[in-house]
């Protein structure tokens, strides 16, 4: 069940939910907010989404991920609004019997998320400017 | 006297599209039979700053990606979606 949240991502809860007796592997990927973009100092970031469409797209990704890899579960949480530097903006958690499929599935889910989900990142720069991060056209 | 039939849609604008137009939401009344491209034309005439973004936008109607020639029905929600950058 995918989530869009406006508070820090509850990583402990995600990991607890993902850890199961029938799985020998849990992979957690966190995308965290970074203080530089192409050499320019970033002072702050915010995310915006077309929320119902983004949530549906994330749930489709979770389903396709679970069907396409030998895994037990995939959950994705994306944070919206202002996200302080060095905090998680996105979490992908995969549970699987074995680690190889869990790593592959988490990597695939993040790759697809970046091109299929209507979410936008806006960066404010330390020197005063701001910009929407160059993205990928939805197809 | 018959008035020409019309359809009314809601337009949602995100990210660069929202900033350029200066609004996140707009209502358009269009002639019946209008297509996505007609709605975009009206939007660009109201907000000329949107025109240079046009080639980069994906368009959704009721949360499904559509082509410019897709027909519109009254009550539809049309969304202007700039290139995405989640993660």
pLDDT at B2 over 90: no
* CB count in 10 Å sphere of residue B78: 22
| A136 reaches B (C-beta below 8 A) | yes
Which among B16, B65, B87 has CB closest to A138?
B65
Q: State CA A7 to chain mean position distance.
A: 14
Q: Which of B13, B61, B5 is nearest to B37 (CA)?
A: B61
Phi, psi of A113 (to 5 degrees): -55, -40
Give the whole-angstrom CA distance, residue B1 versus residue A50: 42
pLDDT score, position A50: 98
Tokens of B24: 């996140």
Which of A:9-28 have CB within 8 Å of B?
none
DSSP for residue B71 = B
pLDDT score, position B3: 76
In a domain, A137, yes or no: no
The CATH number of residue A20's host domain is: 3.90.1170.40
Residue-wise pLDDT for B39-51, tens only, equals 999 999 999 999 9
In a domain, A100, yes or no: yes
Please report residues of A whose CB lies closer than 8 A to that of B81.
Answer: 50, 118, 138
Domain spans in chain B, listed from the N-terminal domain onward: 1-21+44-87
Domains in chain A, number: 1
Assess contact for A94 and A73: CB atoms under 8 A.
yes
pTM: 0.96
Residue-wise pLDDT for A61-107, tens only, equals 999 999 999 999 999 999 999 999 999 999 999 999 999 999 999 99
Q: Are strands A40-49 and A81-83 parallel, antiparallel or unpaired?
A: antiparallel
What range defines the domain where residue A126 resides? 3-132
| B27 reaches A (C-beta below 8 A) | no
Provide the number of CB pairs (under 8 Å) joining chain A to chain B.
80
In a domain, A139, yes or no: no
Please report residues of B whose CB lies closer than 8 A to that of A130.
Answer: none
Residue-wise pLDDT for B10-65, tens only, equals 999 999 999 999 999 999 999 999 999 999 999 999 999 999 999 999 999 999 99
| B14 reaches A (C-beta below 8 A) | yes
Please report residues of B whose CB lies closer than 8 A to that of A136.
Answer: 83-85
Element spanning A138, H or E = none
In a domain, A63, yes or no: yes
Indicate if ipTM > 0.90: yes
Fold of B1-21+44-87: Ubiquitin-like (UB roll) (3.10.20)
């Amino acid at each position: 069940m995918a989530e869009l949240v406006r508070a820090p991502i509850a990583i402990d809860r995600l990991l607890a939910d993902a850890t199961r007796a029938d799985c020998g592997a849990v992979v957690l990927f966190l995308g965290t907010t970074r203080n530089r973009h192409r050499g320019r100092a970033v002072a702050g970031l915010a995310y915006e989404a077309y929320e119902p469409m983004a949530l549906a797209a994330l749930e489709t990704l979770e389903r396709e991920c679970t069907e396409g890899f030998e895994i037990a579960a995939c959950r994705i949480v994306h944070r919206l609004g202002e996200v302080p530097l060095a905090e998680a903006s996105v979490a992908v958690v995969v549970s699987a019997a074995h680690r190889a499929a869990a790593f592959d599935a988490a990597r695939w889910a993040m790759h697809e998320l970046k091109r299929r989900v209507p979410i936008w990142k806006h960066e404010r720069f330390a020197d005063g400017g701001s910009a929407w991060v160059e993205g990928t056209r939805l197809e | 006297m018959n008035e020409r039939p019309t359809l009314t849609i809601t337009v949602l604008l995100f990210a660069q599209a929202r900033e350029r137009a200066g609004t996140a939401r707009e209502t358009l009344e269009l002639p019946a039979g209008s297509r996505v491209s007609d709605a975009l034309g009206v939007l660009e005439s109201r907000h000329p700053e949107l025109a240079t973004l046009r080639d980069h936008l994906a368009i959704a109607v009721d949360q499904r990606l559509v082509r410019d020639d897709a027909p519109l029905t009254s009550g539809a929600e049309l969304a202007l979606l700039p290139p995405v950058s989640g993660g």
